[in-house]
Structure 1
Amino acid sequence: MRKAKAPKFKAPIVIIGGGVAGLALASGLIQRGVEVKILDRGWLPWQMGMGFIVLRTGLDALHELFPRVRWGDVGAPVLRAKIMDSSSELLSDTTLDAYAIGRGTLLNTMLDQLPPGTLIDHAGVSEFLRGADGRVRAVICDDGRVIPCSMVIGADGLRSATREFLYPDVQLEDVRVREVVSIFDAPHVAEILGTTFIKHYDPDGGFGVGMLNVGGGQVVWFVQHDADRYDWAGLSPGMLRWAIWEKVSRWPAPIPALWAMTKFTKSHLWFTRDLYPDFDYVQNNIVLIGDAAHPVLSFTSHGATGALEDAVLLAPLLADAKDDEERASSAAAFGMVRRDMFERIVVEGREILERFLLPLHKQPKGVMLPLVK
């Protein structure tokens, strides 16, 4: 643990959003003696997604940002990816260096490492107060509370209000692939999966089922589908259950068993979105990170990884700055580097999506692994 430095700024850095990006950056800053407040409109980790694949750079960031946590005890390594068709014919078998963890487990573990009172719950943001120099000097919450700040970090996720405040004309891209994602306790299935990520594809394209052990006896499984062919958006949980069964009832084990164990009232139908990064991640003393800056398709496995990378890169830059000008300059340099990187990731994610929609016999060989490296 680094020795905390004396504070150089009169007001804290305010982080909007208590997800992966916000909690990770808060930890990195607090380690370096920076005062931080996290504002979150409603912190319910079990309602905000199911699980993550974290790539090696993200796992390294977790170890650096939360050095007291034994991450191997709360998640599971992912060392292999087996991609098959719906009859279990092997399409690719690849080694990985990744990590899987349930979202609620990750967020609760991260929050437990922060000082009490760092996260202020039920604190939606309604307005920013700017000084004469154009910098935000305070954040006004929905309930009227005024929180002074030296900098604002927008870490408020896919539908970021901070991003909308900065760029009201920037809109998320609609993507025709959606996912039904579920997580539940299934120790015997988790043991069978071990350290292998398994995914089956429909030979006709546009449909896939993936599963992985996320630690603690829990399994995440997901059904990716082309919404033009499988329009399930308006279905009740019961109807969704039978729509999926009609498709996967004859698929290989353990898919039918996973279906039988799933309570679809607790599953999440995810409308996948991304955003091409043709805007600045930094404007004056407001910085966008994580999904607020660079939402990407799940095909890339760069959502949580990108958020953790943001935190481990940005924390020392902000902590070491001597004044507002140096902080702004360092943040702007960070934003340019990250935007260039995610321009590539967004493009590659869209290429993977287009291949996913094709029948297997039309897909190029060697591109089955749904990860951008």
Structure 2
Amino acid sequence: MNKVAVVGAGISGLSMANYLEKNKIDYHIYERRKKEDLAGHGFLIPQEGIEYLTQIIDPALLFEHGSFLKKYVQYSHTGKKLAEKNLNNVFAISRHSLIHLLSQNISPEKITYEKTIIPCDLQKGRLKHPDGSYLEADIAIISDGSRSRIRRSLFTGEKMRTVRENEVVNIIQDQEIANSIENDFMKFHYDQGGLTFGILKLSHDTILWYSQFDNEKYKVNECSSDNLKKYMLEVFEEWHPLVSSIIRKSSYENVHLWCVYELEELNPFYTENIVFIGDAAHPLIPFTSQGVTSALKDSHILTKYLVEEDTVLKAFKKYEAERKPEIEIHIRNGRALLNQFLLPIDQYTDHILPISYK
């Protein structure tokens, strides 16, 4: 194997590059977006994900950039405690921080930004630049997100559907609010279902918050930051004062509005010399909190087989055989969590922890 092209410089692409770097496999990353992407987005990483992440990032450095959460505490929208559960090494970190940490081990010469890679219509298994020239690589690892353009071009029969949930995600730096809460995962639920507000403390002065909407009941449209803030304040006006305070004091410059999609059925994870990882292979709805961990495991296991096997085809087959069954478990768990989210609180079968475990 002479060279690997990694398409996409998000969490899965950068994780893959770090594992390739660790194993001295030559690669280059192509990312269609600009280098700086500061959208207020973050992640929950369970213990298994931390174990993979600390193989490529110094643990002391990693833990400086986020926070371990002690408990999951579930409330009604007015603040009545419904349930709580101790958490075992669940780590919260902003997307920006994790991207920064994963980029530190990658030489700038190995990443090209604002470069779109597309499938070649004339020759299966080949990718090309927009100018028509072929991508010079023995294999291509595709990590261009849940709505992967390359995946849709290669698997033309796939069926992707919108999920009955949208999310608004943001980060606020406010010492006073941060001081008022513990290092817990707090989640407020509307009594009639289909609307939640989650709070994760990232550091002594920084909070990640997100709101989940049943998009059949709440129409969260792409709009200006001022209009989005106004809409949020209207929807959450009667909620616990902590929720309305966070919404009111937040800047909406880098707020992220997430429309969620899923595949009706998973595609193969590879074709010819092209292989998919992370959301490009298997979009997971956010209730699973397994996106980062799954991307890390994909990267680790794919690299392992690329090193061990004598052909790329064998490596791809073993990678898919190992990863697909676990991903299907997370998909089922995510759908179960989504179905419960849509119900009124008094119809919950259980106060389920919003993290999917295999």
Confirm or deny a common fold (TM above 0.5): yes
TM-score by length of 1: 0.89
Q: Which amino acid aligns with 1:82?
A: V
CA contact under 8 A between 1:123 and 1:143: conserved in structure 2?
A: no
Other-structure match for 1:328 = 313
CA 1:54 to 1:277, structure 2 compared with 1: closer, same or farther past 3 Å? Answer: farther
* 3-state SS of 1:64 partner: coil
CA 1:261 to 1:335, structure 2 compared with 1: closer, same or farther past 3 Å? Answer: same
Shift of 1:336: 2.4
* 3-state SS of 1:314 partner: helix
Equivalent of residue 337 in structure 1, options 322, 325, 333: 322
**What CA distance in whole angstroms lies between the structure 1 residues aligned with 2:330 and 2:238?**
35
Equivalent of residue 239 in structure 1, options 210, 227, 231: 227
Equivalent of residue 70 in structure 1, options 52, 61, 68: 61
Equivalent of residue 156 in structure 2, options 165, 168, 193: 168
Shift of 1:68: 7.1
Shift of 1:69: 6.1
CA 1:197 to 1:284, structure 2 compared with 1: closer, same or farther past 3 Å? Answer: same
Give percent identity, aligned residues only: 24
Shift of 1:296: 0.9
Other-structure match for 1:41 = 32
Other-structure match for 1:372 = 356
Other-structure match for 1:304 = 292
* 3-state SS of 2:19 partner: helix
CA 1:48 to 1:315, structure 2 compared with 1: closer, same or farther past 3 Å? Answer: farther
CA contact under 8 A between 1:88 and 1:200: conserved in structure 2?
A: yes
Other-structure match for 1:206 = 194
Cα deviation 1:13-36 (Å, max 9, x = unaligned): 111000111111111111111001
CA contact under 8 A between 1:27 and 1:114: conserved in structure 2?
A: yes
Cα deviation 1:52-106 (Å, max 9, x = unaligned): 1111111111101224762111111123111110122111111112111111111
Equivalent of residue 12 in structure 1, options 3, 7, 12: 3
TM-score by length of 2: 0.92
Other-structure match for 1:99 = 91
**What CA distance in whole angstroms lies between the structure 1 residues aligned with 2:308 and 2:176?**
48
Shift of 1:235: 4.7
Shift of 1:49: 5.4
**What CA distance in whole angstroms lies between the structure 1 residues aligned with 2:40 and 2:280?**
16
**What CA distance in whole angstroms lies between the structure 2 residues aligned with 1:69 and 1:294?**
31
Equivalent of residue 117 in structure 2, options 125, 133, 139: 125
Other-structure match for 2:337 = 352
**What CA distance in whole angstroms lies between the structure 1 residues aligned with 2:120 and 2:100?**
29
CA contact under 8 A between 1:56 and 1:98: conserved in structure 2?
A: yes
**What CA distance in whole angstroms lies between the structure 2 residues aligned with 1:216 and 1:299?**
26
**What CA distance in whole angstroms lies between the structure 1 residues aligned with 2:241 and 2:130?**
49
Shift of 1:327: 2.2
Alignment RMSD (CA, Å): 2.1
Q: Which moved more, 1:298-307 or 1:252-261?
A: 252-261
Shift of 1:159: 1.4
Other-structure match for 1:218 = 206
Shift of 1:315: 1.4
| Runs of 5+ consecutive residues of structure 1 not aligned to the other structure | 1-8
CA 1:145 to 1:261, structure 2 compared with 1: closer, same or farther past 3 Å? Answer: farther
CA 1:217 to 1:143, structure 2 compared with 1: closer, same or farther past 3 Å? Answer: farther
**What CA distance in whole angstroms lies between the structure 1 residues aligned with 2:300 and 2:279?**
15
**What CA distance in whole angstroms lies between the structure 1 residues aligned with 2:204 and 2:51?**
21
**What CA distance in whole angstroms lies between the structure 2 residues aligned with 1:190 and 1:63?**
27
**What CA distance in whole angstroms lies between the structure 2 residues aligned with 1:50 and 1:216?**
18
**What CA distance in whole angstroms lies between the structure 1 residues aligned with 2:132 and 2:228?**
42
CA contact under 8 A between 1:152 and 1:286: conserved in structure 2?
A: yes
Other-structure match for 1:294 = 282
Shift of 1:48: 5.1
Cα deviation 1:296-332 (Å, max 9, x = unaligned): 111110111211111122212112333xxx2211221
Shift of 1:229: 1.3
Q: Which moved more, 1:243-252 or 1:25-34?
A: 243-252
**1:276-295 → structure 2 map (5 Å cutoff):** 276-295=264-283
Q: Which amino acid aligns with 1:15?
A: V
* 3-state SS of 2:293 partner: helix
Q: Which amino acid aligns with 1:155?
A: S
Other-structure match for 1:6 = none
